[in-house]
Amino acid sequence: MGGKFYENILRMEKRMTGNMAMNALGLKTTDNIGRFQWSAIQAAPSFSSSFPHMFGPDSNVQCLIPCAIDQDVYFRMTRDIAPRLRIGDEVTGESFKKPAVIHASFFPAIDGAGTKMSSSVFADKTIFLTDSAEEIKTKIFKFAFSGARGSGSMKDSQELGADLKKDVPYQYLRFFQHDDAKLKDTGDRYAAGKMSTKAIKDELVACLQSLVRGHQTARAKVDQAEVDYVMSADPARFQGGGTASASAPVAAATKIEFATPRRRT
């Protein structure tokens, strides 16, 4: 965290006050100083000049930030301060562009849609990209909250159907099932009681196992040379020079694609 990146952190800190941080983040005077400083660290990546090896030392490219609502407060502070920061000359330079934000919904916790999935809080109930196929199945069948109405018996499920808004397996399928027609058919049948809780969990397990298996296969192809190349700040990678450094000749020719699940609103 050096160079222009750190310079922008310091410039943010210079223009932030303790009152701003306390009002925006709910901090108190008894909170440690790192919590106050963190807002400036969050803000720095919003400015293209923090990455001179990618955009140039005096660039001013507007940043678009996808984030959940809990992160919005940092970037509202950033938007307030950005016009007071300038590219180049502190008096005559162009003002930093305010970052724009797209709000994304939380991925629900496996045991209920009222909370978010968190590896730090619910480690045993979180699906990891390193999980085996059997671990994924066990977690879904053991912990995934069912939206089946009534007592959960087969009779009630058939007569009353399921509440799709509360059912975690269905909500997960909204993220990971890319076939819209299949998703609609699953939802219609499950809500009408024509599909059991076990059946929809089986469908989700198969979907997640396929996704995680694909990720693990792709990840296994990445070696240390590739990591070193991607994590380097070599300007040639971003400004048309475009070849790998001598220490990572393989990386430049390697292209790994990961499937990105769509988010439905």
Distance CA 159, CA 191 (A): 10
CA dihedral 45, 47, 48, 51 (to 10 degrees): -40
Residues 116 and 175 in one domain: yes
Residues 34 and 118 in one domain: no
Quick check: helix, strand or coil at residue 243? coil
Residues 143 and 76 in one domain: no
Residue 189 lies in a domain: yes
Residues 128 and 214 in one domain: yes
Which of 54, 72, 104 corresponds to the end of one domain? 104
pLDDT score at 216: 97
Residues 215 and 114 in one domain: yes
pLDDT score at 117: 65
Residues 127 and 182 in one domain: yes
Compare 150 and 116 and report the one with higher pLDDT.
150
Which of 83, 104, 125 corresponds to the end of one domain? 104
Residue 40 lies in a domain: yes
Averaged pLDDT for residues 96-114: 85
Across-strand partners of 228? none
Q: With 70 as the cut, is the pLDDT of residue 261 above it?
A: no
- Interhelix angle 33-43/3-15, nearest 10 degrees: 120
Residue 37 lies in a domain: yes
Q: With 60 as the cut, is the pLDDT of residue 102 above it?
A: yes
Q: With 60 as the cut, is the pLDDT of residue 262 above it?
A: no
Residue 251 lies in a domain: no
Residues 112 and 214 in one domain: yes
Query: Residue 121 maps to which CATH number?
Result: 1.10.240.10
Distance CA 192, CA 220 (A): 42
The mean of the pLDDT values for the chain is 84
Compare 116 and 9 and report the one with higher pLDDT.
9
Residues 95 and 131 in one domain: no
Residue 241 lies in a domain: no
Query: Residue 76 maps to which CATH number?
Result: 3.40.50.620
pLDDT score at 264: 42
Residues 57 and 150 in one domain: no
Condensed to tens digits (0 to 9), the pLDDT of residues 52-90 reads: 988 888 899 999 999 888 889 899 999 999 999 999 888
Name the band, by pLDDT with cuts 50, 70 and 90, for residue 105.
Answer: confident
pLDDT score at 25: 86
pLDDT score at 255: 40
Q: Among the ranges 51-65, 87-101, 129-143, 147-161, which has the highest mean pLDDT value?
A: 129-143
Residues 140 and 88 in one domain: no
Lowest mean pLDDT, pick from 35-44, 123-132, 147-156: 147-156
Residue 100 lies in a domain: yes
pLDDT score at 119: 60
pLDDT score at 236: 67
Q: Convert 18-68 into a string of H (helix), E (strand) and C (coil).
A: HHHHHHHHCCCCCCCHHHHHHHHHHHHHHCHHHCHHHHCCCCCCCCEEEEE
Compare 149 and 252 and report the one with higher pLDDT.
149
Residue 10 lies in a domain: yes
Which of 46, 72, 104 corresponds to the end of one domain? 104
Residues 144 and 91 in one domain: no
Residue 186 lies in a domain: yes
Lowest mean pLDDT, pick from 144-158, 200-214, 250-264: 250-264
Number of domains observed in the structure of the chain: 2
Structural domain harbouring 91 = 3-104
Residues 159 and 189 in one domain: yes
Condensed to tens digits (0 to 9), the pLDDT of residues 196-249 reads: 999 999 999 999 999 999 999 999 999 999 888 888 777 666 655 444 444 444
